[in-house]
Structure formats: structure tokens, C-alpha cells
Amino acid sequence: MTAAKQAVWDVVALGEALVEFNQTRPGEPQYLQGFGGDTSNAVIAAARAGARTAYLTRLGSDAFGQALLDLWAREGVDTTAVERDAQHPTGIYFVTHGAAGHEFSYLRAGSAASRMAPAWLQDAPAAVLQQCRILHASGISLAVSASACDTAFEAMRVARAAGARVAFDPNLRLKLWPLARARACIAHAVSLCDIFLPGLDDMAALLGLHDADAIADWGHAQGAATVVFMRGPEGVLLSTTDPAVPRQRVAGRSVALVDATGAGDCFDGNLLARLALGDDLAAAVRYANTAASLAVQGFGAVAPLPTAQQVQSLL
């Protein structure tokens, strides 16, 4: 019996969660404390969409780590497999706003999450991975350290061996690792995934690709059966390796942008939730597009993530 038939969790994510301090007004020293970390944002988005969710990470034994555990408890995200580390801290980051947009400053070097190692997966995390429908990881999950990269690859292997699907968003952050290593590791991750979730900026920086069809072709060539290419205001390209299913383009939504922090994570989480709950790909993309359009109308990565009722009302 496959994981999809006996799943306890619809969407499980792996990566580094952080505490966020988001500047409320450009040039002024007031910050709103929130939460971030791409895969954490995505799994919370999935939970708000109605999916049964769990998160895999390591946190410091500090106040910030406890704040994240409290957040996930409020959001209904299972933390059975989250490990605390008394020697290494929970990561934090600051978001400042100016004429050029928002800028991120991170304090995450040597964080507890960066100390993830494949052996850690053998206990509670393995049980979660073997009972999920979809595992979600990202380029940041790979980039925070070499051992975290190896951990993400092993988690993908374990999940797929149990019958789950694996989703991967490259979410390229070149401040975290050299371009050559990013190219190699991301290509390998795509070869291990079923659902590839690239964005235009990432693929342009990673491979010099700008054309939607070329990006979909690259994802399929690496081994991904499904490519959902996010093109921002231009919408989304859907592509599968099924010759009977033509490529589709789903239009984007035009809204008043307040803060784009976490918009892609919101899209990922809602897409995966709807796929796990039984939507077809096009319907899941329309739902995720609508959710992301709501998320960018508020400040921060987590606070503006919409509920299923809010998305359904707009749909």
C-alpha cells in the first residue's frame, strides 16, 4: 500500500524556519516581528488551505525557537519531528524597504537548522516522510549547509520510496552558495522530484533561461513529470510529460501590491494542498494564483496568508 493511500499527512515540508523582523516604514527603525523561512511559509499556507500538514526542521533551544513552535501549534502544523538544539540558535532575518524594493539581511550562519544531517531522518522524521502524500523542499533547504543538502536529498528518496510525491522550488539565493554548486545541486533535486516549481528570476539567474517552454523542457529533461512555472503577473505555465495533456497557461491576477514577501511560498503551499486534496493540476493552479494574489496585499510572510474561505470567496 502506498503512502498516498494510507497518508497521515497531506503536505510535509523540510527546511529552515526563521523569525522575521519586517520594517514597517522605509528608513525608520520600527520592525514588526513575524515569521519566515520559505518551506515553513508554504506548509502554513497549506494548513490554512485545509491540508493536514507537518514540518521537519531543527530549532535552537531559545525564545525564537519556542515562538516558531507556538506558531505551528496555532496553525495546526504537526511538529512531532522538530528537534531542538541547545548549542546552535534559531535563525532570524530583517526585511528593509526602500526605493529599490525590499532587502533581506540574515543572521542564520551556524543555525540549528543548518546542522541537519541525514542520520537525523532515521527516527521521527522518517515516520512522517513515510506517511505523507507530498513532500516539499526548496533550494534554500539545500543551500543552508552541505549536510542540510544531503538531508533534503535523503528525505526526497525516503518519501518517494514510500509512494509520496516530491515537490521542489529552486528558490535561488546566491548569497547562500556559489552559482556552480547551486546549479549542480538544484539539477539533482529536480531529478528527484515529481513537481518542479520554478520562477522566472531563479531560472534566468541559474541557467540563463527566460522562455517558458525552454524552462519546462529543462525541468522535464532532469526528470520532473510536472512543471509549474510561475511567471509573476503573466500567470503560470503548466506542463507534464503526459503527451495527451497539452501545455496550459493560466492567467495571473492584477492586484495592489503591498509586500511580495512569501508570495511564491503561498503559491506553493496552496498548490500542493489542493493537489493533495484531489484537485486536478489546472484547478489547483487557479486556486494557488488566487491565494497568492491575496497574500501580497499584506505585510510579512505569514500574517497575510489567506484561509480557504477567503480564497473560495474570491474564486
Q: Convert the chain into a string of H (helix), E (strand) and C (coil).
A: CCHHHHCCEEEEEECCCEEEEEECCCCCCCEEEEEECHHHHHHHHHHHCCCCEEEECEEECCHHHHHHHHHHHHHCEECCCCEEECCCCCEEEEEEEECCEEEEEEECCCCCHHHCCHHHHHCHHHHHHCCEEEEEEEHHHHHCCHHHHHHHHHHHHHHHHCCCEEEEECCCCCCCCCHHHHHHHHHHHHHCCCEECCEHHHHHHHHCCCCHHHHHHHHHHHCCCEEEEECHHHCEEEEECCCCCCCEEECCCCCCCCCCCCHHHHHHHHHHHHHHCCCCHHHHHHHHHHHHHHHCCCCCCCCCCCCHHHHHHHC
Once rounded to an integer, what is the mean pLDDT over residues 200-216? Answer: 95
Q: What are the angstrom distances between the C-alpha of 246 and each of 26, 141, 173, 250? A: 45, 32, 32, 13
Question: What is residue 126's predicted lDDT score, i.e. its pLDDT?
Answer: 94
Residue whose C-alpha cell is 546552535: 88
Q: Which residue type, as a one-letter code, is found at position 275?
A: L
Please say if the pLDDT value at position 1 is more than 70: no
Instruction: Give the pLDDT confidence of 59-104 residue by residue, as tens digits.
Output: 999 999 999 999 999 999 999 999 999 999 999 999 888 888 778 8
What is the total residue count of the chain? Answer: 315
What is the signed CA dihedral for 31, 34, 40, 44, rounded to 10 degrees? -140
Instruction: Give the pLDDT confidence of 126-153 residue by residue, as tens digits.
Output: 999 999 999 999 999 999 999 999 999 9
Which grid coordinates are listed for 304?
497575510
Which grid coordinates are listed for 80?
512531532
Question: What is residue 103's predicted lDDT score, i.e. its pLDDT?
Answer: 85
Instruction: Give the pLDDT confidence of 215-254 residue by residue, as tens digits.
Output: 999 999 999 999 999 887 788 999 999 998 889 998 877 6
Residues 6+ apart with CB under 8 A from 297: 255, 256, 257, 258, 304
Q: 173 and 139 in contact (C-beta within 8 Å)?
A: yes
Residue 17's nearest CA partner among 32, 39, 33 is 39
Q: Which residue type, as a one-letter code, is found at position 315?
A: L
Strand partners, 136: 13, 167
d(CA 286, CA 292): 10
**pLDDT-based confidence at 259, cuts 50/70/90?**
low
Instruction: Give the pLDDT confidence of 264-307 residue by residue, as tens digits.
Output: 999 999 999 999 999 999 999 999 999 998 987 787 778 889 88
Q: 15 and 238 in contact (C-beta within 8 Å)?
A: no
Which grid coordinates are listed for 301?
510572510
Q: Which residue type, as a one-letter code, is found at position 173?
A: R
Share of the chain above pLDDT 70, in %: 96
What phi and psi values does residue 73 have, to the nearest 5 degrees? -60, -45
Question: What is residue 134's predicted lDDT score, i.e. its pLDDT?
Answer: 98
Once rounded to an integer, what is the mean pLDDT over residues 197-216? Answer: 95
Averaged pLDDT score across all residues of the chain: 92
Which grid coordinates are listed for 137?
523542499
Once rounded to an integer, what is the mean pLDDT over residues 187-207? Answer: 96
pTM of the predicted model as reported, rounded to 2 decimal places: 0.93
Question: What is residue 66's predicted lDDT score, i.e. its pLDDT?
Answer: 98
Instruction: Give the pLDDT confidence of 17-59 residue by residue, as tens digits.
Output: 999 898 888 889 999 898 999 999 999 999 999 999 999 999 9
Burial 140-149 (b: 16+ CB within 10 A, else e): bbbbbbeebb
Question: What is residue 295's predicted lDDT score, i.e. its pLDDT?
Answer: 85
